[in-house]
């Protein structure tokens, strides 16, 4: 299987596409053809379903012989469909991994894959991550103490919750965390600058783990397919998906799962007060813009990076508009949903999941009786300062996350500058300049 750029100027095998992240012409890698999977078992584990759906993409690559082992190692936790109190309402719980957000699926698969690709072993690969919270922790946990890898995390100082900051700063060893006196967008700019400066160096020591990586996109197919197959076994209707969205990585993976044959019905995107997608789906031109801060901070995105993949697959912007539903959910509505969810749905939800639940409530009010699953993208305990006052009690922290949070924390201050980052990494002995 080959991977082509959405901009048409690059073709790569999986190993190169994974190592490079972004295609040479600035586009995103997509599979040359979308394979279909027949006869997948509805009772298989997430790991086995992942192997089944990812197998066509690794044909002919160095990962082919290792795929089963990579999936078994990455997907050691479940992604259950949990019934809510309303008829046909379910949560697809994606927060049972070590850092309690769905980013664990992608980060762990990417880490296992990169570890098995041939490369220059004489020098550690330094993975750069700009994060607004969940990605950095998932990537750090996935590469934690993995020989040959180092992780550099940049997060906006004051832009993440206290618990998220602790979760980003608890690794040490081969993970170095910077609290940057700037916004998430500035953190991302610094990462891009360092990567761009080393882009043409065949011995590049830097790589990224951002949401455009195929190594994060492909594994996310697995839990959508797994849930849809399990649901279809006991229902005469396919499962429809409501996906809290920012960069559209999860949404793009859901579309791929359906294109590959998973029994998924409609796919809708739930957004927060960042309007780039809601405005586009309402008929306006696609217009990236600066992000605004909301309670669902992992979705505070002004230029959804996977949009270009959807445009490619669906033959243009009109095709994308016709393929998905989308709505914007305000912070005030997020708070209402979180507060009411324990009695209304029998669930405690994080602010991102609340956006999906708001859309589900609107669909039910409009008479939609089909089965819908809301992707529960993070555990509510990660957003305790928002959730606990609204539900009126403490939310227990999942054991794996509690283990990380109990570690000593350490981070370093950084100005938003690529030069200063490289200088500090050099001074710390992490890179030779």
Ligand X SMILES: *Cc1c(COP(=O)(O)O)cnc(C)c1O
In the complex, the residues that contact ligand X under the rule CB under 6 A are: 101, 103, 134, 211, 244-251, 298-299, 352, 377-378
Q: Measured from the CB of residue 96, what is the shortest distance to ligand X in angstroms?
A: 13
Q: Measured from the CB of residue 298, what is the shortest distance to ligand X in angstroms?
A: 3
Instruction: Identify the CA nearest to 153 among candidates 171, 216, 201.
Output: 171
CA–CA dist 184, 169 (Å, integer): 16
Q: Measured from the CB of residue 251, what is the shortest distance to ligand X in angstroms?
A: 6
- Residue 383 contacts residue 161 (beta carbons within 8 Å): yes
- Of the pair 21, 125, the CB lying nearest ligand X is at 21
CA–CA dist 7, 393 (Å, integer): 50
- Of the pair 267, 425, the CB lying nearest ligand X is at 267
Q: Measured from the CB of residue 429, what is the shortest distance to ligand X in angstroms?
A: 32
The total of other beta-carbon atoms located within 10 Å of residue 378's CB is 25
Two structure tokens written together for 384 = 């305790």
3-class SS of residue 181? coil
Q: Measured from the CB of residue 101, what is the shortest distance to ligand X in angstroms?
A: 5
Q: Which whole-number Å values give the CA distances from 194 to 92, 133, 421, in the listed order?
A: 37, 21, 9
- Of the pair 289, 410, the CB lying nearest ligand X is at 289
Q: Measured from the CB of residue 250, what is the shortest distance to ligand X in angstroms?
A: 4
Two structure tokens written together for 80 = 């259950």
- Residue 295 contacts residue 132 (beta carbons within 8 Å): no
- Of the pair 63, 253, the CB lying nearest ligand X is at 253
- Of the pair 40, 356, the CB lying nearest ligand X is at 356
3-state secondary structure string across 368-387 = CCCCEEEEECECHHHHHHHH
CA–CA dist 352, 246 (Å, integer): 10
Q: Measured from the CB of residue 310, what is the shortest distance to ligand X in angstroms?
A: 11
CA–CA dist 360, 372 (Å, integer): 8
Q: Measured from the CB of residue 5, what is the shortest distance to ligand X in angstroms?
A: 20
- Of the pair 341, 421, the CB lying nearest ligand X is at 341
- Of the pair 222, 378, the CB lying nearest ligand X is at 378
Calculated CA dihedral for residues 40, 227, 249, 144, nearest 10 degrees: -90
- Residue 372 contacts residue 360 (beta carbons within 8 Å): yes
Q: Measured from the CB of residue 45, what is the shortest distance to ligand X in angstroms?
A: 23
Angle, helices 331-344 vs 384-391, to 10°: value is 50
- Of the pair 246, 416, the CB lying nearest ligand X is at 246
Q: Measured from the CB of residue 123, what is the shortest distance to ligand X in angstroms?
A: 30
CA–CA dist 78, 181 (Å, integer): 37
- Residue 277 contacts residue 311 (beta carbons within 8 Å): no
Instruction: Identify the CA nearest to 193 among candidates 183, 174, 208.
Output: 208
- Of the pair 89, 300, the CB lying nearest ligand X is at 300
Q: Measured from the CB of residue 262, what is the shortest distance to ligand X in angstroms?
A: 18
- Of the pair 156, 249, the CB lying nearest ligand X is at 249
> Which residues make beta-bridge pairs with 30?
4
Question: Buried b vs exposed e over 207-242: b needs ≥16 C-beta within 10 Å?
Answer: bbbbbbbbbbbbbbbbbbbbbbbbbbeeeeebbbbb
Burial (0-12, 13-18, 19+ Cβ within 10 Å), 270: buried
- Of the pair 27, 351, the CB lying nearest ligand X is at 351
């Amino acid at each position: 299987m080959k991977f082509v750029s959405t901009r048409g100027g690059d073709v790569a095998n999986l190993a190169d596409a994974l190592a490079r992240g972004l295609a040479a012409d600035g586009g995103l890698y997509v599979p040359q053809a979308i394979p279909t999977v027949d006869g997948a078992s509805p009772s298989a584990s997430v790991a086995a379903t992942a192997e089944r759906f990812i197998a066509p993409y690794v044909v002919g690559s160095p990962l082919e012989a290792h795929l089963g082992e990579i999936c078994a190692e990455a997907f050691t936790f479940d992604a259950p469909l949990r019934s809510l109190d309303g008829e046909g309402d379910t949560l697809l719980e994606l927060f049972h991994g070590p850092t309690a957000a769905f980013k664990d699926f992608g980060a762990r698969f990417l880490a296992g894959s990169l570890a098995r690709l041939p490369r220059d072993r004489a020098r550690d690969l330094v993975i750069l991550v700009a994060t607004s919270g969940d990605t950095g922790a998932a990537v750090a946990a996935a590469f934690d103490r993995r020989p040959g890898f180092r992780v550099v995390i940049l997060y906006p100082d004051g832009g993440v919750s206290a618990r998220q900051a602790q979760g980003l700063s608890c690794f040490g060893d081969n993970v170095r965390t910077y609290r940057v006196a700037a916004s998430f967008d500035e953190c991302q700019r610094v990462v891009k600058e360092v990567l761009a400066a080393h882009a043409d160096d065949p011995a590049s020591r830097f790589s990224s783990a951002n949401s455009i990586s195929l190594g994060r996109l492909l594994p996310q197919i697995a839990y959508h397919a797994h849930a849809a197959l399990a649901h279809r076994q006991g229902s005469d209707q396919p499962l429809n998906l409501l996906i809290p969205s920012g960069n559209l990585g999860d949404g793009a993976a859901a579309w791929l799962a359906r294109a590959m044959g998973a029994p998924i019905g409609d796919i809708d995107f739930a957004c927060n007060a960042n309007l780039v997608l809601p405005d586009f789906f309402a008929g306006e031109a696609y217009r990236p813009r600066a992000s605004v801060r909301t309670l669902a901070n992992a979705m505070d995105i002004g230029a959804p990076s996977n949009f270009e993949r959807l445009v490619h697959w669906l033959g243009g912007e009109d095709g994308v508009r016709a393929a998905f539903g989308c709505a914007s959910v305000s912070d005030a509505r997020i708070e209402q949903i979180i507060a009411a969810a324990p009695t209304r749905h029998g669930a405690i939800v994080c602010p991102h999941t609340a956006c999906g639940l708001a859309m589900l409530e609107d669909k039910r009010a409009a008479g939609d009786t089909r089965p819908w699953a809301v992707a529960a993208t993070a555990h509510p305990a990660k957003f305790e300062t928002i959730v606990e006052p609204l539900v009126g009690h403490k939310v227990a922290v999942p054991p794996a996350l509690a283990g990380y949070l109990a570690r000593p924390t350490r981070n370093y201050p950084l100005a938003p500058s690529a030069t200063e980052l490289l200088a500090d990494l050099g001074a710390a002995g992490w890179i030779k300049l």
